[in-house]
Amino acid sequence: MPNEVLFDEKEVLQKAMQLFWLKGYNGTSLDDLLKTTGLSRSSIYNSYGNKQGIFMQCLQYYRDWLLNTVMEAITKLKSPVKKIEMVFKISVDKLLKDKERKGCLIVNTATELANLEEEISLFMKEFEKEWETLFQDWIKEGQLTGEISKSFSSLALSRHLYNSYQGIKIIAKTTNDRKTLEDIVNVSLSVLKQ
């Protein structure tokens, strides 16, 4: 059975994801991946095709982890505004706990590769659409109940929130000051009540 997987894929993806997250795609060599994951070249090629193949799997793993983290945290919240606030709270808390200031794997990848690789660009567009839709659903709900202002369309607000959500991940690469990040979040969320 030449294609039989003889390693823990979740563990490999976690290790590879951390490496890409710290060093970036271009800063990570195949030798780095072999050393970090413990896989052989043939295992990487047989299971993922090449470096970009394992990288795409890491992006998907990160995306799923991020979404699951948020969904678990908001599961008991009824208020759409509280759900949105929780998304930002989780992000700020995770960013401040990261001593290496890696930021966000998605944002890092967007700035490094989105204009160069079609497959990665498509992934980024899908990620953006997924988060905009999530924000937009909550905004529509809040606008119906009067909890969120109708001064802007739900789409415009969702785009603003997504931009702010990703923006704090860039700022967090240069500061670990909670007040700075929370100020940005508070001003960003203030448009929901105008």
- Check pLDDT > 60 for residue 41: yes
**For the chain, how many residues are written?**
194
**Across the chain, what does the average pLDDT equal?**
92
Confidence label for 1 from pLDDT (cuts 50, 70 and 90): very low
Task: Quickly list H helices, 75-103.
Answer: 80-97
Count CA atoms closer than 13 A to 183's CA, side-chain side.
Answer: 8
Amino acid at 177: D
- Check pLDDT > 70 for residue 6: no
Cα 79 from Cα 58, distance rounded (Å): 32
Cα 72 from Cα 133, distance rounded (Å): 18
Q: Please state, for a pLDDT cut of 70, what percent of the chain lies above it.
A: 96
Mean pLDDT, residues 94-123 taken together: 89
Domains of the chain: 1-58 (1.10.10.60), 77-193 (1.10.357.10)
Q: Which of 170, 188, 160, 21 is nearest to 100 (CA)?
A: 21
Cα 33 from Cα 39, distance rounded (Å): 8
* pTM attached to this predicted model: 0.89
Comparing 12-21, 43-52, 123-132, which segment has the lowest mean pLDDT?
Answer: 43-52
pLDDT digits (tens, 9 = 90+) for 123-149: 999 999 999 999 999 999 999 999 999
Per-residue b/e over 33-43, b at no fewer than 16 CB within 10 Å? beebbebeeeb
Cα 59 from Cα 104, distance rounded (Å): 11
